Amino acid sequence: MYMYDFTYRRPATLAEAAALFAGADSPAFLSGGHTLLPTMKNRLAMPDLLIDLRAIPELAGIRHQGGRLEIGAASTHEAVAASPEVRAAIPALAALAGSIADPQVRRVGTIGGSVANNDPAADYPAALLGLGAEIVTDRRSVPADDFFEGLFTTALEDGEIVLRISVPVPEAAGYAKLCSQASRYAVAGVFASRTGRDVRVAVTGAGSDGVFRWAEAEAALSLRWDGGRSTAGGGRAPRQRSR
């Protein structure tokens, strides 16, 4: 299907991106585009200017420093899944990235796009909330607890750009999801992490208002993390079940 007419720009700097955004009637930031373009085909979004953020250096790269993973917003799901830094520090996060959609989509879709979109069936919001990550933008750093506000709604202001995700490395973490039989998105997914006695459990898919923390599970797991069985920490791939 041919889409309606719009203009595409690919700024090389944050300043240029901000100027383009400020000067347009109805601009939208573009990253992998694997949610935005299908949405535009349906006319559920109709920006007149697409500002591609993928050439901006601040959004690139994955580093492990000071006990945190710093994941550039333009990192594709494939890059996160294959990153030696992520695989070594938080194998459950690498495995989660490798379980999103299919290989073709993982090649293009990005963590920044997924986080900014906050689809209620997306995997990353559960991971970021379940790990206590910070979403670093061109204006500030927002804790995941304050970032995901509801269905397709985040704390991002007009024109604010996600630069990277800053993730504290936990002692153990795991992710399991139930996939839609046809489309493989997460009907429900749970990400759990533990650092000392501090346990976080976040659920995607199953809430009427998007991703949420599950206090009862956190309380129970902080008393007994292993539940008498081996846990989903370490390098195990996310357990997936179909309906």
Question: Smallest distance from the beta carbon of 185 to other proteins, in angstroms?
Answer: 10
Q: How far is CA 12 from CA 15, 48, 165, 211, in A?
A: 9, 20, 20, 33
Question: Smallest distance from the beta carbon of 162 to other proteins, in angstroms?
Answer: 19
Pick the closer one to other proteins by CB: 99 or 193. Answer: 99
Pick the closer one to other proteins by CB: 7 or 141. Answer: 7
Question: Smallest distance from the beta carbon of 170 to other proteins, in angstroms?
Answer: 27
Question: Smallest distance from the beta carbon of 187 to other proteins, in angstroms?
Answer: 16
Q: How far is CA 115 from CA 16, 63, 129, in A?
A: 22, 19, 11
Pick the closer one to other proteins by CB: 30 or 115. Answer: 30
Among residues 75, 26, 78, the alpha carbon closest in space to that of 53 is found at 75
Question: Smallest distance from the beta carbon of 122 to other proteins, in angstroms?
Answer: 14
Pick the closer one to other proteins by CB: 21 or 214. Answer: 21
Q: Residue numbers of the site for other proteins (CB under 8 A)?
A: 1-8, 10, 30, 33-34, 37-38, 41, 50, 52, 54, 101-105, 107-108, 183-184
Cα(124)–Cα(139) distance, rounded to whole angstroms? 22
Strand partners, 202: 191, 213
Contact between residue 130 and residue 191 where contact means Cβ atoms under 8 Å apart: yes
Pick the closer one to other proteins by CB: 98 or 143. Answer: 98
Residue 52 parent element (H or E): strand 49-52
Question: Smallest distance from the beta carbon of 73 to other proteins, in angstroms?
Answer: 16
Q: How far is CA 218 from CA 113, 124, 161, 193, 223, in A?
A: 28, 19, 32, 9, 9
